[in-house]
Amino acid sequence: MVGEGAAVAACQVPGVRYVITMTGERQELERPRIVDTELPDACAVCGGTISARFSPQGVKGVCLTCHLVTTLAVAEVDGGMRIGHLAIGQA
Ligand SMILES: [Zn+2]
């Protein structure tokens, strides 16, 4: 029980246990981490720009010129990125 005059935020009431802590950090962790970008000159077939989506499930891409659909492999090399094609299909 909180005494009179004590200004305690609702999330700090003594004796109350919360299943999930009230912090902004947790919200940041639960946000899906998806990044869309374009990779110029990356298509293995025509050399066109690939529109790529980086997500926790992997990297998928489609060529904006010839519509090649590909799964990309990304590796960090010497502070940069190396991108290769794992699987290729035509849409
Ligand atoms: Zn292409």
pLDDT tens track for 10-37: 666 777 666 666 665 555 556 678 999 9
User: Measured in angstroms, how far is the CA atom of residue 74 from the centroid of ligand 1?
Assistant: 18
**Number of domains the chain contains:** 1
User: Measured in angstroms, how far is the CA atom of residue 76 from the centroid of ligand 1?
Assistant: 24
Read off the pLDDT band of 2 (50, 70, 90): very low
Asked whether residue 3 is assigned to any structural domain, the reply reads no
Asked whether residue 19 is assigned to any structural domain, the reply reads no
pLDDT at 1: 46
Asked whether residue 58 is assigned to any structural domain, the reply reads yes
The residue with tokens 């489609």 is 62
State the chain's mean pLDDT as an integer: 80
Statement: residue 46 has pLDDT above 60: yes
Asked whether residue 14 is assigned to any structural domain, the reply reads no
Asked whether residue 39 is assigned to any structural domain, the reply reads yes
Mean pLDDT value across residues 60-70 = 94
User: Measured in angstroms, how far is the CA atom of residue 66 from the centroid of ligand 1?
Assistant: 4
- Structural domain for 40, as ranges: 33-90
* Total-model pTM: 0.60
Share of the chain above pLDDT 70, in %: 67
**Beta pairing partners, 53:** 36, 60
User: Measured in angstroms, how far is the CA atom of residue 63 from the centroid of ligand 1?
Assistant: 5
